[in-house]
Amino acid sequence: MHAVACFGEALEAESACTPVRESQLLATGPRSIVVLGERAGRLLGQEKLHTWGTWRDVPICVTYEVGYLVGHPEARHVAWAALQQLPQRRLK
Smallest Cα–Cα separation from 25: which of 51, 48, 41, 3? 3
Residue 5: inside a domain = no
**Total-model pTM:** 0.76
Residue 9 lies in a domain: no
Residue 20 lies in a domain: no
Residue ranges in the chain modelled with pLDDT below 50: none
Q: Are 89 and 52 in contact (CB under 8 A)?
A: yes
Overall number of domains in the chain: 1
Q: pLDDT (tens digit, 9 = 90+) per residue, 60-85?
A: 999 999 999 999 999 999 999 988 88
